[in-house]
A and B are shown apart, each in its own frame.
Chain A
Amino acid sequence: METRELLISTSSPHLREGSRTSAIMWFVCLALFPASVWGVVVFGWYSLIVLVVSIFTALLTEFVITAIKKKMTLFDGSAFLTGLLIGMNMPPSIPVYIPVFATIFAVAIVKHAFGGLGRNWMNPALAGRVFAMFSWSKSMATWSLPSTLASVPGADAVSGASPLGYIKAGLLGLSVQADSPAQLSDALGSIGGPMNYLASKNFPVSSFDLGASGWLKSVLNIDIGRGYIDLFVGNVAGSIGEVSALLLLAGALFLFIKKIISWHIPAAYLGTFAFLTWLLGGFQFSLGLFQGDVLFHLFAGGLMLGVFFMATDYVTTPLTPKGMLIFGAGAGLLTFLIRFYGGLPEGVSLAIIIMNMCVPLIDRFTKPKIFGSMKKIKKGAEA
């Protein structure tokens, strides 16, 4: 042969599908984008600063550590994603040093101290949030109302309260005031549920919510009640990125279509949580079985953000579909327990982190059955 070329010689396969890890990370960031923008729109420019500072801190921490490690991974998207998620998990008016410390803790300690991307056993963003929650409890529970509710009557009275926190505090107050369990039961029973409680306290509701629910009632004859639509679209106090269940669901749908997340964890998580809430959630207001307010609890707080974007983190969740179902169900159960019986109003972050710890155990007991292993017969034996 007249030309001798240098040939590449590698072991098979010689083809690749072409998807890359960094692309997955950036797609997740993209899926979070609409909900973040919503947060900035309703909570104002300061929340944008919180987001940018979180992302910048994450990238800087990643840069410094990977420079020391001499293996630059700044652009794999994972640090950006961690920063973005921490920012989205911060109350809109948080002093910026809190997300800075939370992010440094997440990237430097939770991720890199354990070996970097793929080696952390706990979701870094959630760890950062929980770190901040326990370190600066008051700031992390101080909310501000979205601009869409600022001029609504009653807004002044509840400024600085999220629906879940407001209810938890209110119920605690009732139990302290009550002289006897019977009296408490009566007091609770007269309320009738979380949304009624909020309404009785004149918790602000946007005119959009009133208009939309009124339209549903008059045109489609569906009475969903006051406040749910605000909760769903994100006209409510909460963390910057968690309030809009609608836009988070849209992002999750995008990830489903791109086949980046599978249905197993979200379905098991939401299914377990919704069922338990429906079954037992009514007891909180001295109602019977099957009286819990499922819609309220699905869309209040950080459940949507947690379920679709943190409980589906590959690194800290089981590998097999069966394992994912167990993980999701466990997280749903824990979220329910913490929200209804724990001291914290939320529960999503802790529930997921506790389940993260169980992943090696779940993986160990959910190994798939190897092809041909069910009927192991002696070689050469009669078929």
Chain B
Amino acid sequence: MNAIKTFPKGGVHPHGNKAASSSQPIKNAHIPQQAIIPMSQHIGKPAECVVAIGDAVKEGMLIGKASGFVSANIHSPIPGTVKDIIEMYLPQGIKTWAIVLEFQGEFERSGKLFEKRDWKGYSAEELNSIVAEMGVVGLGGATFPSHVKYAVKPEQKIDSLLINGVECEPFLTADHRLMLEKPEELLEGIKIIQKMVKAEHVYIGIEVNKPDAISLLQQKINDANLKFEVVPLKVRYPQGDEKMLLKAVLNREVPSGGLPLDIGAVVSNVGTVYAIYEAVVWEKPLTERIVTVTGSAVVRPSNLKVRIGTKISEVIEECGGFKTPPGKIVLGGPMMGFSIADVDMPVTKGVSGILVLSKKDSHIYQNDPCIRCGRCLKACPWNLMPTVLLKEIESQNYKAALELGLMDCKECGCCTYVCPSCIPLVQTFKYGKILARKK
């Protein structure tokens, strides 16, 4: 095994809290009677709704069509009829159209056997168009359309493909379970991506708190005689950020404002790899995803394969409901996830976890003055000066904030996590970015 690697500076070590769900096998969630499918589930332009109220839809049918270069198709997770098309707000604050589907009719895919597609004869472009067709987006949380990411221009030489099995967010175990339960499928998915981006080397980064996943993948790689390298990483947040992961594994620094492409690399999350595998090998559109349901206020912490559009409330109910009255429900991990005010929000492509925190664990933090202790500077993996940035934004000096690297902030939240005065640093930066862009 290789030496344990990590990124050079900053970061934090929050308690993992993964034990509650890490031994729970992935189970299929119930089929929702009603599915709410927002047209904006990815970064980029929202998909265009291609059905009308009253239309009958089949399982896996295209209902939202990608519009523009950075956009992704959206498919029906269930057979049924379009009951309504509504406008709604997503937890991220985005306003979007959403299709309300009522379950009806029969499944044409689920439970049926299909023939495995032999993709080896396909060209990179053909594979890419399948990925685009199936509406695959990055499932690590960023939801960047995968076909755009993998569309490597000939002049961009990619030498390395990094598979992100880090799962550095506390509480989440979906990627961990996936690596344990579908290792062979993942390796095939990696081969597909490798062909698409024409990368010579493949690295799989996994934090050492998942030793079973590390040894299993290593064993499967050896069995299949592949050249992929499993890279054990020190447990440290935010190692799952693609730029930190590149620094940790390859010791390459993505230039400020640039992409991994600029340094000859592509990074993909294991969840995305599995979606690619299903899309290419089984012609399956992205209509479900693995969600970790956990936290101090849920009865049975679980890893569920949930259909897109299922209401959060139903998913929680399936896990036994609330153990104690919930104080906060977070979509995603506790460091970067979005808290919701409405439990009838649907699961979208980017929801990696549903974190149900008890009232005791849910806080509204009162902040004290900054005493310039410098802990935010130490914690920032991007080497920014959070407290100085904060002052510039508070005094509406956006030009100075931009010069201090406001746009280099990846909103990982380390600064806020360590601040002894509980100052809403990263929150202010998110807000400041919006205002700075307007200027």
Contacts and interface: CB of A to CB of B under 8 A. Distances in A.
A375 B253 contact: yes
A21 B383 contact: no
Nearest to B264: A383
A4 to B, nearest CB: 8
Contact of A15 (B368, B388, B417): B417
A118 interface: yes
Interface stretch (B131-139, B255-263, B277-285): B255-263
Nearest to A78: B371
A223 B167 CA distance: 60
Interface stretch (A140-148, A173-181, A314-322, A339-347): A314-322
Interface string B333-352: 01111111101000000000
A372 to B, nearest CB: 4
B372 A319 contact: yes
A200 interface: no
A11 B339 CA distance: 7
A57 B317 CA distance: 58
A14 B255 contact: no
Nearest to B252: A383
B369 interface: yes
Given A1-B343, A118-B371, A12 B326 contact: no
A119 B330 CA distance: 35
B371 A21 contact: yes
A375 B254 CA distance: 9
A317 B377 CA distance: 14
Interface in B278-329: 313, 316-317, 321-322, 325-329
A13 B413 contact: yes
A370 B383 contact: yes
Contacts of B18: none
Question: Helix, strand, loop or mixed for chain A's interface?
Answer: loop
B357 interface: yes
A368 B385 contact: yes
Which of A3, A14, A377 has most B Cβ within 10 Å? A14
Given A15-B170, A376-B255, A383-B262, A10 B373 contact: no
Nearest to B362: A8
A118 B374 CA distance: 12
Given A1-B313, A118-B371, A14 B420 contact: no
Nearest to A364: B388
A5 B264 CA distance: 49
Nearest to B258: A379
A5 B419 CA distance: 30
A14 B334 contact: yes
A63 B261 CA distance: 58
Contacts of A377: 255, 258, 262
Contacts of A370: 256, 382-384, 405, 408
A383 B157 contact: yes
B364 A14 contact: no
Contacts of A5: 322, 325-326
Contacts of B14: 15, 17
B331 to A, nearest CB: 10
Contact of B383 (A16, A20, A363, A371): A371
B334 A372 contact: no
B355 interface: yes
A383 B261 CA distance: 8
B120 interface: no
Contact of A371 (B243, B365, B404): B243
Contact of A13 (B156, B157, B381, B416): B416
B417 A16 contact: yes
A69 to B, nearest CB: 12
A14 B330 contact: yes
Contacts of B405: 370, 373
A49 interface: no
A371 B253 contact: yes
B209 interface: no
A24 B325 CA distance: 33
A10 B343 CA distance: 15
B44 interface: no
Nearest to A2: B321
A372 B420 CA distance: 28
A315 B325 contact: no
B261 A319 contact: no
A64 to B, nearest CB: 19
B256 A76 contact: no
B112 interface: no
Interface in B378-405: 381-385, 387-388, 404-405
B328 A9 contact: yes
A372 B325 CA distance: 44
A12 B420 contact: no
B328 A14 contact: yes
Which of A11, A315, A373 has most B Cβ within 10 Å? A11
B377 A13 contact: no
B256 A118 contact: no
Contacts of B335: 12-15
Nearest to A319: B374
B418 interface: yes
Interface string A74-89: 0010000000000000
A15 B332 CA distance: 13
Contacts of A320: 374, 377, 385
Nearest to B259: A379
A160 interface: no
Contact of B257 (A4, A20, A314, A379): A379
A86 B405 CA distance: 40
B364 A8 contact: yes
Contacts of B264: 383
Contacts of B327: 7-8
Contacts of A201: none
B369 to A, nearest CB: 4
Contacts of B53: none
Interface in A215-261: none
Given A375-B255, A377-B262, A383-B263, 17 more contacts: A1-B316, A5-B322, A8-B339, A12-B330, A15-B334, A19-B418, A20-B421, A21-B373, A319-B385, A319-B387, A320-B374, A367-B404, A370-B382, A371-B243, A371-B408, A373-B255, A377-B255
Interchain residue pairs A-B with the least CB separation, the first 10: A13-B413, A118-B369, A372-B256, A1-B313, A383-B264, A14-B334, A11-B427, A371-B382, A9-B341, A370-B405
12 contacts: A7-B339, A13-B336, A13-B417, A14-B334, A14-B355, A17-B14, A21-B421, A370-B382, A377-B262, A379-B257, A380-B261, A383-B264
